[in-house]
């Protein structure tokens, strides 16, 4: 049986992002094209499918390491600034770009929430595994 662990991550994320977009499970807010992903970035994402890929990446992160909270996911999606001057300390990603996808995925029934944090639901696991099977066939 092929799972989300058995296929290449980039191919899986692109395929899951397409599935989320086609099934209208998540939708990007109107402000997403103007906002940076965190203080370690200089510009907003240029990819039109950024929101769907971020939702897919969060879903995969919960599949691998769940349950996770917003703070842990902010650390996971953060990074170091690219400037040469000053210290290169890691910065967390923007909280709204983690919180809003989590809320949309929860509304779609792909993740659930409890006291430990958010974790992937059975519907979310089956979505990832079914897309992984399709990616492995290609």
Q: How many domains does the chain have?
A: 1
Q: Output the pLDDT for position 57.
A: 92
According to the model, what pLDDT value does residue 123 have?
A: 92
Predicted pLDDT of residue 85: 67
Residues 6+ apart with CB under 8 A from 21: 49, 52
Separation of alpha carbons 52 and 102, rounded Å: 12
Q: What is the pLDDT of residue 59?
A: 92
Per-10-residue mean pLDDT of the chain, 138 residues long, equals 85 91 88 73 74 90 88 83 70 83 91 90 91 88
* Res 63: pLDDT: 92
Tell me, yes or no, whether 4 lies in a domain: no
Phi-psi region of 91 (alpha: psi -120 to 50; beta: other; left: phi over 0): beta
pTM for the whole structure:
0.85
CATH code: domain of residue 77: 1.10.10.10
Domain hosting residue 30, numbered range? 9-137
- For residue 110, give every residue at least 6 positions away whose Cβ sits within 8 Å of its Cβ, in sequence order, or none: 25, 59, 120, 121, 123, 124, 127
pLDDT of residue 131: 92
The answer to whether position 1 is within a domain reads no
């Amino acid at each position: 049986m092929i799972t989300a662990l058995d296929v290449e991550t980039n191919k899986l994320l692109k395929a899951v992002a397409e599935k989320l977009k086609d099934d209208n499970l998540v939708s990007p807010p109107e402000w997403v094209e103007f906002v940076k992903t965190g203080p370690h970035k200089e510009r907003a994402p240029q990819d039109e499918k950024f929101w769907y890929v971020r939702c897919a990446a969060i879903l995969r992160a919960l599949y691998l390491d769940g349950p996770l909270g917003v703070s842990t996911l902010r650390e996971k999606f953060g990074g170091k600034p690219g400037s040469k001057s000053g210290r290169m300390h890691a910065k967390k990603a923007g909280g709204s770009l983690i919180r809003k996808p989590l809320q949309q995925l929860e509304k779609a029934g792909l993740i659930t929430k409890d006291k430990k944090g958010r974790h992937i639901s059975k519907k979310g696991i089956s979505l990832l595994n079914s897309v992984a099977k399709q990616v492995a066939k290609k």
